[in-house]
């Protein structure tokens, strides 16, 4: 299993537009990816409602995990995405 931890860079956290961009990118990988909050709540990273339900704010660390072919590359691309301010794009 591939795993990564990343700190959310978006100024408003993982809400609205940043969450939408993240979920679209997660779905585009074609690999089931799990997003876990600091509190240990887990959701499907491709689910906008699931991601929004976590209420992840700027500066919070989240954990990503995935299994399968291409999981490492998929997580690396999502970490890069979350490490940038998605509100500025």
Dihedral sign, Cα of residue 25, residue 85, residue 71, residue 44: negative
What does the alpha-carbon distance between residue 56 and residue 26 come to, in Å, rounded to a whole number? 16
The pair of three-digit structure tokens given for residue 49, joined into one six-digit string:
């409602």
Catalytic-residue membership of 15: yes
> Which among 8, 10, 14, 15 is annotated as catalytic?
15
Which residues, listed in sequence order, are joined to residue 86 by a DSSP beta bridge?
none
Active site residues: 15
């Amino acid at each position: 299993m591939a795993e990564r931890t990343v700190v959310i860079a978006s100024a408003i956290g993982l809400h609205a537009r940043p969450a939408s961009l993240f979920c679209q990118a997660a779905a585009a990988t074609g690999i089931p990816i799990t997003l876990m909050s600091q509190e240990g709540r887990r959701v499907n990273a491709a689910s906008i409602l699931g991601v929004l339900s976590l209420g992840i704010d700027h500066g919070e660390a989240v954990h990503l995990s995935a299994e399968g072919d291409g999981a490492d590359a998929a997580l690396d691309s999502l970490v890069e995405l979350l490490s940038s301010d998605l509100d500025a794009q």
